[in-house]
Structure 1
Amino acid sequence: MKIEAIAEQYKIELESVYGGEEASALFGLAVEYVLGLSPVKLKISKNHSATFVEVQKLLSILNDLKIGKPIQHILGVAHFYGAVYEVNENVLIPRPETEELVDWIINDHAPVRMQNLKVLDIGTGSGCIPVSLKTYLPDFDVKALDISPEALTVAKRNAELIGAGVEFIEGNILTYESEMKFDIIVSNPPYIRELEKAKMHHHVLAHEPHLALFVTDEHPLVFYQAIAEFALKNLNPTGHLYFEINEYLGEEMIKMLAGKGFKNIELKQDMQGKDRMIKVTISDETV
């Protein structure tokens, strides 16, 4: 069967669900996974014929996509900051805005070339944040915390596969205590309010872990408050606290952090112009 014919079938059956452009992108990911054809090679290989087994794999992926299963869960992998991560239903699929958060931290600290800075990622999920930081800041001592043992299993495998020496800790940040001190604390905690569910794509609601996504409408900053309190006790005087945040709650975050005495509060927008990241310190003096 010609690749061009399968591409047309993907377009016809997925366009009403995802739109034409995304349907084409999903087909490209499927073909790269099954046939090993990059997007560039795919453009010049429309007359390429797929074997029976390859066709069956592509059609199986198509059937899963039609019921809203994320392509990353179908393939079992997601791309993040130049590496490939294992993902499944126990972890959030890494997002581009989280790549921007990682990039912010790396750009802040790589030029200084300070060795042995201690880092803690809270709510690590797939491990994409700490593994990326350890990869690009190899001299740093990187740890990661998560409440889910299933998520930690995935994160540990990702660290091993990518070759990043990250220490993983099972714990609930709402009750977790430690005597350890850190120079960088980073978190992308649950921040989507129940009232925002109606705006979300059904495949996220059906296939991604709600534990890592949602907070109540009454207490949307519950995890940020807990992490901020932890940072007040466990962040070194010249350290930095980084958050990925709900785009609608930037002002509330600034007010909360200022109320707890944090300094140098910097709200940063992502590439789509949304309030998505915050950096703060506990001291006016930073390195």
Structure 2
Amino acid sequence: MNNQQLRTQFISQRPDPMEGSEWEHLFYTLISDYAGLSRFQFVQQLNDETPVEVVHQVQIALQRLMDHEPIQYILGYTQFLDLTINVGPGVLIPRPETEEWVSMLISSESNSADDETIKVLEVGTGSGCIALSIKHHLAGAEVTALDLSLEALKIARGNAGKLGLNCEFLQMDFTKASPSGTFDVLVSNPPYVRRSEAQWMRPNVLEHEPDLALFVPDDDALLFYRHLAVKGRKLLNPGGRIYLEINEYLSVEVSELFEDQGYEQVQVHNDLFGKPRCLTAMF
């Protein structure tokens, strides 16, 4: 089989709901990883024989994609800001919207980090992408990250070791316990999708990404924000800052919750799609 035939075979299997350009992008992402070829290089070599191993890898990946498995799980990694982060079915795949507000956090906190050590607590670290990005860019920061899932912590610790970044990862149910000490920054991308919203989500998310990291009950949608707001009062030093990802449909409710708990400078920031996505506040 040559490269042209492999591409034709892959493209012909495109699921109906998916845009052709998106499916083609997946193909070239696989080619880049498996064959080490850019799109331009591949197109220049359409008549060349495809190595048997590459054909086999692409065909296996094709079947997994047809089963709605995210390409990040198939490859075993994804990019988050300027870090390559290993991911698997036990952790949520980082989104571009999250990269955006984490970039804002890093920029906002960089002045503090230049003058003194800042202590950062992340609740619900998953793959560790947020905690590790903070540590990477704010080298003097002391970063502690919590997660309930032992599987997620294994992946996060593996990422820290691979990247040579020193963060403390702790197994903890934040709804039932709190870490010791106080912090200057509290960060979280908690579960915030209501079960009733699942009907609008893609199969690759519903069938493969962990429910634990996604969903909250419809009748208690502010569950994690309530714990963050209340416990943050004890965990944060005076002048401490909060950065949270939020449900676009609940920005008003989350803002009121933090205002009622006495936080100041409560602000909601829109993401790159113009949707409310991040809440910041000061204690």
- Do Structure 1 and Structure 2 share a fold, with TM-score over 0.5? yes
Counterpart CA distance in 2 for 1:197 and 1:269 is 22
Aligned structure 1 segments of 4 or more residues deviating by more than 6 angstroms: none
Matched to 2:191, the amino acid is P
1:43 is displaced (CA, Å) by 4.4
Counterpart CA distance in 2 for 1:109 and 1:179 is 22
Corresponding residue for residue 55 of structure 1: 55
Counterpart CA distance in 2 for 1:131 and 1:47 is 43
Matched to 1:122, the amino acid is V
User: Structure 1's 178 and 55: CA in aligned 2 closer, same or farther, altered over 3 A?
Assistant: closer
1:262 is displaced (CA, Å) by 0.8
Give 1:257-276 correspondences, 5 Å limit.
257-276=258-277
TM-score (norm 1): 0.95
Counterpart CA distance in 2 for 1:67 and 1:259 is 45
Matched to 2:82, the amino acid is G
TM-score (norm 2): 0.96
Counterpart CA distance in 2 for 1:255 and 1:40 is 51
- Write out per-residue CA displacement over residues 228-281 of structure 1, whole angstroms, 9 at most, x where no aligned residue: 111111101111011001111111111111111110011100101110001000
SS at match of 2:146: strand
Corresponding residue for residue 153 of structure 2: 152
Is contact 1:247-1:276 (8 Å) kept? yes
- Write out per-residue CA displacement over residues 179-205 of structure 1, whole angstroms, 9 at most, x where no aligned residue: 311111100000000110000001111
Is contact 1:245-1:276 (8 Å) kept? yes
Counterpart CA distance in 1 for 2:241 and 2:258 is 13
Counterpart CA distance in 2 for 1:40 and 1:276 is 36
Is contact 2:15-2:66 (8 Å) kept? no
User: Structure 1's 275 and 42: CA in aligned 2 closer, same or farther, altered over 3 A?
Assistant: farther
Corresponding residue for residue 198 of structure 2: 197
Matched to 1:80, the amino acid is F
Corresponding residue for residue 74 of structure 2: 74
Give 1:135-214 correspondences, 5 Å limit.
135-214=136-215
Is 2:96 the counterpart of 1:96? yes
SS at match of 2:85: strand
Matched to 1:7, the amino acid is R
1:17 is displaced (CA, Å) by 4.2
Size of the alignment, in residue pairs? 282
1:42 is displaced (CA, Å) by 3.4
Is contact 2:90-2:152 (8 Å) kept? yes
Corresponding residue for residue 86 of structure 2: 86
Counterpart CA distance in 1 for 2:169 and 2:88 is 18
Is 2:9 the counterpart of 1:9? yes
- Tell me the percent identity: 37
Corresponding residue for residue 114 of structure 1: 115
User: Structure 1's 202 and 96: CA in aligned 2 closer, same or farther, altered over 3 A?
Assistant: same
Name the Cα RMSD after superposition: 1.3
Unaligned runs of 5+ in 1: 283-287
Is contact 1:17-1:66 (8 Å) kept? no
1:100 is displaced (CA, Å) by 1.0
Corresponding residue for residue 31 of structure 2: 31
- Write out per-residue CA displacement over residues 79-138 of structure 1, whole angstroms, 9 at most, x where no aligned residue: 111111111111001111111121011110114423310001100000000001000110
Counterpart CA distance in 2 for 1:15 and 1:246 is 29
Counterpart CA distance in 2 for 1:190 and 1:40 is 40
Unaligned runs of 5+ in 2: none
Matched to 1:125, the amino acid is G
Counterpart CA distance in 2 for 1:166 and 1:115 is 17
Counterpart CA distance in 2 for 1:226 and 1:261 is 14
Is 2:228 the counterpart of 1:227? yes
